[in-house]
Chain A
Amino acid sequence: MTIASLAQDTIAAGMPLAELYHYLFVAGVLFGLGVIGFLARRNLIIMFLCTEMMFQAAGITLIAFSKYHFNPDGEVFVIFVLTIAAAEAALALALVVLLFRRKETLDASAWAMLKG
């Protein structure tokens, strides 16, 4: 079952437009893009943005399940996560700036000397 056929089936079946698996689909796509971006790019800022994308994918999943189960815990959890993510983003960007100052580059492979 391909993703395209899944979407077609959904529409053809005349189901309500946003079922649970739509949300999960979006989250999966978002996460996959994040992973691909993280693996493909070498720029530290882009890689950081990619991790944020994976993060948000997980958030969407949580909210979707929260709605599905009529349980607000997931939403509450996501709000907490977003708050912490904001702080963490500030920290991470500061680190990136420091790393940049040290090597005058944003290439992640410049820090490959940190090996075992």
Chain B
Amino acid sequence: MQELASNLMNITTLLGASGGESLFTYQESSGGPGWLGLIPVLPAIAALICLLLLFLARKGMASGKSRGPAYLVLGFLALSFILTLSGFLMWNGQGKPAWIVTLFDWINITWNSGDGEQSLIANFGFYFDGLSFLWMLFVTFLGSMICLYASEYMSGDKGYARFFAAFGLFVASMSCLVLGDNLVMLYLGWEGVGLCSYMLIGYFYTKPEAVAAAKKAFIVNRIGDLGLALGLYLIYTTFGTVQYDELFRAVAERTDAAGSPLDFATMWQSWAIPCLLMIGAFGKSAQFPLYVWLPDAMEGPTPVSALIHAATMVTAGVYMIARMFPLFLMDPDLHALHAVAWIGTFTALLAATIGMAQFDIKRIMAYSTVSQLGYMFAGLGFLTTTGGAYHVFTHAFFKATLFLACGAVMHGFAGQLDLRKLSGLWSQPGWRITSVAMLVGCINLAGLPLTAGYFSKDMILAEAFYTPDSLIHFSGLMGWILLFTAGLTAYYTFRVFFRVFVGPEHYEPGDEAYDHDSDETGEESHHPVEEHGDHHADHFHPHPPGWAINLVLSVLAIGSILAAIPYFVSDGNDKSKGWVGDMLYSSSAFYKSPAGHADKHGNETAVLVPADPVVLPASFADEPAAAGAAKGKVPAADAWPVRDQVEAGSILGMDPHKAMYYISAVFGLIGILIAAYLHGPKGPAGLFIGNRTQAATSRADALLPKLGPLPRWAQNKWYVDEFYEATIRLPLWVFANIFHAIDKLLIDGALVDGISSLPKAFARSIRPLQSGVLHSYAAGMAAGLGIILLVVWVFSL
């Protein structure tokens, strides 16, 4: 025993020497102020009140004639945001351990007491650290903003209160997902947002496409959720805990929760757990095999698309991987992270090519979301959780702006979303704010230099080249693919802008409005509904957004620009990566690249540290070795295959962090120029290279036939839906019919009906006895009497 202890001491000393460079820092958590627990509860209360309103059926409240439900939910969401913000400021001022706020004990089971005691503890508690604060700040802020937008957008709709009930429940679930202090809470929130997404996509439940899209989203998500559920189960069976602090401590010490050591290098769980979690993330965050639900989800009301399907819910997968990053590092070969990087890269490219060929602007934004999520995943795969999280942060703002601007257009032009039928909104009265917001969103998405989107995308792209090939194989190749995709992104983004927002003024109203998200109530209503029996362009009046939409668009556009600031602000924990890097530094998502650390100007040459992702409690670095050994919390370092020192990667022989500023800008600008040439109008609005004079046609129309079938294929989404239809849905349909036939013929027919027909047949055979003729009964009785007498007589002989 003593010998072991001294060995441990030696190892600790060794690690203490190089221990400053541990890849994952485990920090003790402590209790936080209890009022933080209100953050997820407030939106849930708002949702409940909305539900009550719905049942009380106060006509004015439920029919959208009053905006009461919207302002109610808005108030609660805003309060939730204020609490988050003040909680963050308090937390930020202190030493930054994670705060745990437990509302109540939820699951607390212990069995096998005594020897081999096992327990399952999952409290209804919330975990506040840099990662969750980062997410909660933009979730509650964007939630409030989009709620205000929706108060105008949804006005006049029959399901007004229903919409806001689901909206509140969504924010509550998302908060539960992000803040939960254990995996069960994460799962609860995960399913909750899935449910709300289903309810809100299928909000127009009389529209068959909306119902189909809702079902598709829910079912595709089930596939991912199965992966997540299995992953959580495997985590529990491996580590014996689902609580974050215990789990991360266990991972850091390479033991299970009870303290028995685990050999990460050889056990199969170290690659199985991340792979299963990854599948869950692919489902929720719409990555390649499971992305098909997201574009269809645009059938929901636009605020929903903006909040759930662009800004917050779809980033849950990124959050989950970032949160579980220590588990992703267990595998010495990083199998799961390779898959994450490749799938992310491929999804980014695939979705960008589809987005280039669509005509529905909201759908283009949907594909751009899928594509940008691909970037985030690629970032996680390149081991830059900060890059992924920062891109989530900036993307949340600019994609919400883009979606809400598209929504304003859809709202104003009677559901028109076809970019061939709208043009020159910039100069039409009342559309200036929308157009400017759209421009801000577009330059961010396109990654124009000095925008937030540019910095966050660069962080991922630079890391693709910076991450050494020995850690993530072919990361450089993926980096080039992503750079090419950045060019495509710039093209399709500005294709929308040049077609819809500048150029000759033209509009054709859509055909679907005034039946659901009718514009004709609310304060900007000027026309009675009856006048709008049909909408010819002659007497259709576009209907510019009102104050709420304009206010939200302005705030979000400014927010999109300001989202660049965190890149430059740092309080010193992780200087090179700005504020987001600081935030992640104090969370489980922090990852210190073994390739060393150049600051953002690339001044520092790559410091080579051992690539052993030693996960060591941070406190041990300063603690005397003996103290650590005495606690028995020392990782079995020799069990880990120590990688050789790794050289940081480069791009074209340059330091990626420096070079990427120019390279990605070039790709972005080329994309924008091509869009201007093909779709831009004449004059300065088309950068002097466009020549479009009509809404419906542009130079691209002449170019398309020369590209062969590619544009058609891309417009048809590379036939992925058809492929799924043929390979998954059709076989399932055939099987279902076979099983239906078996059920009908064998189970129902032969067994159930067959057996039940036996008594029936018997009854039919003896039924004639019941003839109804009184004399036949009497004769029967007499005959019976005679037989009895006969028998008695025979036996008495």
Contact with A along B383-398 (1 / 0, CB 8 A): 0000000000000000
CB distance from B388 to the nearest CB of A (A): 79
Verify if B778 is at the interface (C-beta below 8 Å from A): yes
Contact with B along A24-45 (1 / 0, CB 8 A): 0000000000010011001000
Please tell me if the beta carbons of A39 and B782 are within 8 angstroms of each other in the complex: yes
Q: Bound state CA distance, A113 and B772, in angstroms? A: 6
CB distance from B673 to the nearest CB of A (A): 93
With a cutoff of 8 Å between Cβ atoms, the chain B residues found around residue A35 in the complex are 778, 782, 785
With a cutoff of 8 Å between Cβ atoms, the chain A residues found around residue B779 in the complex are 39
CB distance from B763 to the nearest CB of A (A): 9
Closest CB pairs A-B (n = 7): A116-B770, A115-B772, A112-B772, A108-B774, A114-B772, A116-B767, A112-B773
User: Quick one: closest B residue to A44, CB to CB?
Assistant: B774
Kindly identify which residue among A39, A115, A116 contacts B775, using a CB–CB cutoff of 8 Å.
A39
CB distance from B370 to the nearest CB of A (A): 71
In A1-52, the 8 Å CB interface with B consists of 35, 38-39, 42, 47
From B770, B771, B775, B782, residue with most partner A Cβ within 10 Å: B775
> Assuming A39-B779, A39-B782, is B773 touching A116 (CB within 8 A)?
no
> Assuming A35-B782, A39-B782, is B775 touching A108 (CB within 8 A)?
yes
Q: Bound state CA distance, A113 and B779, in angstroms? A: 18
Verify if B769 is at the interface (C-beta below 8 Å from A): yes
Interface residues, chain A, with chain B CB atoms under 8 Å away: 35, 38-39, 42, 47, 108-109, 111-116
Please tell me if the beta carbons of B767 and A111 are within 8 angstroms of each other in the complex: no
CB distance from A30 to the nearest CB of B (A): 15
> Assuming A35-B782, A39-B779, is B774 touching A115 (CB within 8 A)?
no
User: Quick one: closest B residue to A40, CB to CB?
Assistant: B775
With a cutoff of 8 Å between Cβ atoms, the chain B residues found around residue A111 in the complex are 772, 774
Extra inter-chain contacts (6) besides given A108-B774, A109-B773, A111-B772, CB under 8 Å? A39-B775, A108-B775, A112-B772, A114-B772, A115-B771, A116-B767
CB distance from A66 to the nearest CB of B (A): 22
In B326-375, the 8 Å CB interface with A consists of none
> Assuming A35-B782, A39-B779, A39-B782, is B772 touching A47 (CB within 8 A)?
no
Kindly identify which residue among B770, B778, B782, B785 contacts A115, using a CB–CB cutoff of 8 Å.
B770
Q: Bound state CA distance, A112 and B775, in angstroms? A: 10
With a cutoff of 8 Å between Cβ atoms, the chain A residues found around residue B775 in the complex are 39, 42, 108-109
Name 15 interchain pairs, CB-CB below 8 A, sorted by A: A35-B778, A35-B782, A38-B778, A39-B778, A39-B782, A109-B773, A111-B772, A111-B774, A112-B771, A112-B772, A112-B774, A113-B772, A116-B767, A116-B770, A116-B772
CB distance from B779 to the nearest CB of A (A): 6
Contact with A along B746-787 (1 / 0, CB 8 A): 000000000000000000000101111111001100100100
Q: Bound state CA distance, A116 and B785, in angstroms? A: 23
With a cutoff of 8 Å between Cβ atoms, the chain A residues found around residue B772 in the complex are 111-116
User: Quick one: closest A residue to B779, CB to CB?
Assistant: A39
With a cutoff of 8 Å between Cβ atoms, the chain A residues found around residue B774 in the complex are 47, 108-109, 111-112
CB distance from A112 to the nearest CB of B (A): 4
User: Quick one: closest A residue to B776, CB to CB?
Assistant: A112
Q: Bound state CA distance, A108 and B773, in angstroms? A: 8
Please tell me if the beta carbons of B769 and A116 are within 8 angstroms of each other in the complex: yes
CB distance from A108 to the nearest CB of B (A): 4
CB distance from B80 to the nearest CB of A (A): 73
Q: Bound state CA distance, A44 and B474, in angstroms? A: 106
CB distance from B770 to the nearest CB of A (A): 3
With a cutoff of 8 Å between Cβ atoms, the chain B residues found around residue A38 in the complex are 778
From B767, B772, B779, residue with most partner A Cβ within 10 Å: B772
CB distance from B768 to the nearest CB of A (A): 8
With a cutoff of 8 Å between Cβ atoms, the chain A residues found around residue B782 in the complex are 35, 39
CB distance from A93 to the nearest CB of B (A): 16
With a cutoff of 8 Å between Cβ atoms, the chain B residues found around residue A113 in the complex are 772
With a cutoff of 8 Å between Cβ atoms, the chain B residues found around residue A116 in the complex are 767, 769-770, 772
With a cutoff of 8 Å between Cβ atoms, the chain A residues found around residue B785 in the complex are 35
